[in-house]
Structure formats: C-alpha cells, structure tokens
Amino acid sequence: MTKQSTPVEPHATANAEEPAPAPVRRGPGRPRHADTEERAYRAVLELFGHRGWAGLSLDGVATHAGIGKSSIYLRWKDKRDLLLDALRDLERRYVTPEETEGMTLRDYLVAHATARANLYLGEHGPAISHLYSAALANPDEFQEIRQERISKGVLSLEDRVQRAVNDGELPPDTPTREFLDAIEGAILVHVLVSSPDTIEDMRAKIDDYVATLVDIQLRGVGAAV
C-alpha cells in the first residue's frame, strides 16, 4: 500500500515571505540629505548669478542641486525666501577684517576693500553683482534684503570713517557716504567691465589695485597718505 504524504500548509513553508515593513514617515521639512540646505544655497546663488531674478525658480534650484522638489517646497515658500536665506548664510561665512590696535585708517580701508573685491571675484561674485540690479528692478521682493544689508561691503565702514573725521584723521568736511561710494563703486565697475579671460590676472593684481584706489580717494579728500 502506497503511503500518502501529508500536504504542507502554505503558512508552514520555510521560505514564506515576511510581511514588508511599514514605510518610515518623515516629519515635515525633514531633509532627505544631510546637506540639503547647503546644496540649495549653492544652487540658488549659482542660478541667480547666471540667470538673474527672472530666470530663478524653486523647481530650477531643485534640479540644479540634485535634490527632490519636495525638500525645497517644504522649507521655502518662494524663491525670494530661499535667496534671502542663502545670502544670510553667505554673510555668516563672509570674513570681515577686524581692526587691530594701531591700524591706520588707510590700512583698515585697504583690508576691507580687498575683502570686498575678492568677494566679487569669488565663486558667488556674479550673484552679489546681480543683487544690485535685481533690488532696483524688484523693490518689493528685495525690500527685506535691502533692510538687512545682506552684502557686507565698504559701505559698512561709515562709522569708522566718521570716527576718523572726529579724530582728525580726515578733514572735518569729508563727505563720508560719497567717500565710501567712490571706493565701492570703483571696485564693482572694475570687476564688471573686465572680460572673463582676465579674471585670474585681476585676482593676482587686486591688492595693488585696491591700495592705489584707496590712496587716490584719501588724497581726494585732503588726507595725508
């Protein structure tokens, strides 16, 4: 007599599949990548620098940064907020020369103007340059950026120049704002009117250029150089 085998129930098989674990739900705004914000900041500054305000979008930033669109939209409601945060981050990393004991006004101005020039000539120089024209053309969108004075430049030296006037380092009738405008404007124009193939040469000679520029402005207001 042939012995019949006992059928094996499906649930008793050794290779039965385990139920798939439930997906982990992420909280609102939680980054998919640890460096999401850093990548978004870099992307928005690069795109703003190359395309300007009109060519900037959150979708474009997500694509350029290689991150999910949801990661962008969970953090920033529009491109203005993202650009503002990126500029704040850039400001935190911008190194402002400190005044040391015994430093002359000339040396202080040269240090700040050189740092400013290197910012224009640096990685995010195009974005900083576009900032001025965009703020002029879009006053409402850029009002907060104007108020916070995101781009620290030579114009932030007004107090130091005024102190120099009060201490007699500069003549009493020195027009502080105009004096600094001349330095800031000259640096900006110097960078903007130069062709891309001269940037490396400009970087190599920027220290001499800035020193000469500051000396010209100091002589122009009647200060001893």
Nearest CA to 108 out of 36, 157, 56, 44 is that of 157
Tens of pLDDT along 190-224? Answer: 988 888 788 899 999 999 999 999 999 999 999 98
pLDDT of residue 21: 40
Sign of the dihedral through C-alpha 208, 209, 212, 217: negative
Report the pLDDT averaged over residues 122-128.
90
- Alpha-carbon separation of residue 30 from 35, 39, 71, 75, 187 (angstroms): 11, 15, 8, 9, 41
Of 1-5, 22-26, 30-34, 61-65, the one with minimum mean pLDDT is: 22-26
Q: Look up the CATH superfamily of 98-220.
A: Tetracycline Repressor, domain 2 (1.10.357.10)
The pLDDT-based confidence of 44 (bands split at 50, 70, 90) is very high
- The answer on pLDDT for 11 being more than 70 is no
- What's the confidence (pLDDT) of residue 14? 42
| Beta carbons within 8 Å of 133's beta carbon, 6+ residues apart | 52
pLDDT at 18 over 70: no
Domain positions in the chain = 33-92, 98-220
Structure tokens that stand for 21 in this block: 């674990």
Q: Is the pTM above the cut of 0.85?
A: no
Q: Which of these, 187, 179, 185, lies nearest to 162 by C-alpha position?
A: 179
The pLDDT score that the predictor gives to residue 152 is 61
Confidence of residue 27 (pLDDT cuts 50, 70, 90): very low
Find the mean pLDDT for residues 67-71.
94
Q: Return the biggest CA–CA distance within the chain.
A: 124
Q: What is the CATH number of domain 33-92?
A: 1.10.10.60
- State the amino acid at position 135 in one-letter form: A
Residue 124 pLDDT exceeds 50 = yes
pLDDT at 17: 44
pLDDT at res. 54: 93
